[in-house]
């Protein structure tokens, strides 16, 4: 299954078109607002620095959806998720216990779950960030996923080279 998805990703990654990133974000984020609200998580989307980029919109939307799903899943109750654009990047920040360097070293592995996050309420397959990494690598899009002062920050760099 993973090999088949790899073939589909590589084929779709070549299908790039100029895309309004703000509109893509609005479409992608919309269902997660309801999920966040049901968990008492404040989610904000700022499109003040909207831009267009030559991307495979379908694949970038899948990657962002995986990131948002994880952000909602792992953000602490009564905390926040911020999604915004800055300097041709899309940034997703979620307030949670930051992952350790050891956990981050394995986060892109298929079926990996950080030990603290393996509980009865976790419905994760451990494939989301693995597939996100594969999608963005196939699309040649640089990204980072790292701790920041309040939790975790995912940065998607859509700067055209």
Specify whether the CB–CB gap between 43 and 87 falls below 8 A: no
90-143 pLDDT, tens digit per residue, is 999 999 988 777 766 656 555 556 655 443 445 555 566 778 888 898 889 999
Residue 125 C-alpha from the chain's centroid: 15
Task: Using the predicted structure, report yes or no on whether residue 88 has a pLDDT greater than 50.
Answer: yes
Beta bridge partners, 45, equal: 83
Query: pLDDT exceeding 90 applies to what percent of the chain?
Result: 56
pLDDT of residue 87: 93
| φ/ψ of residue 9, rounded to 5 | -60, -45
| pTM for the full predicted model | 0.83
- Provide the H-helix boundaries in the chain: 2-13, 21-38, 57-74, 101-106, 128-138
For the chain, what is the radius of gyration of the CA atoms? 15
Question: Which structure tokens are listed for 153?
Answer: 């920050």
Specify whether the CB–CB gap between 67 and 127 falls below 8 A: no
41, 29, 127, 117: CA torsion to nearest 10: -10
Specify whether the CB–CB gap between 89 and 140 falls below 8 A: no
> Would you tell me the crossing angle of helices 21-38 and 57-74 to the nearest 10 degrees?
30
d(CA 146, CA 98): 8
């Amino acid at each position: 299954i993973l090999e088949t998805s790899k073939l589909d990703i590589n084929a779709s990654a070549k299908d790039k078109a100029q895309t309004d990133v703000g509109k893509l974000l609005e479409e992608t984020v919309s269902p997660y607002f309801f999920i966040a609200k049901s968990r008492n998580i404040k989610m904000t989307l700022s499109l003040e620095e909207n831009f267009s980029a030559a991307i495979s919109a379908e694949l970038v939307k899948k990657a962002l959806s995986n990131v948002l799903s994880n952000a909602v899943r792992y953000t602490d109750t009564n905390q926040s998720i911020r999604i915004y654009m800055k300097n041709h990047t899309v940034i997703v920040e979620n307030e949670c216990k930051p992952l350790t360097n050891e956990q981050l070293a394995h986060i892109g592995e298929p079926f990996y779950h950080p030990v603290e996050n393996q509980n009865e309420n976790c419905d994760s397959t451990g494939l989301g960030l693995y597939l996100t990494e594969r999608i963005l690598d196939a699309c040649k899009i640089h990204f980072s996923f790292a701790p920041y002062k309040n939790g975790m920050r995912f940065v998607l760099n859509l700067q055209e080279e």
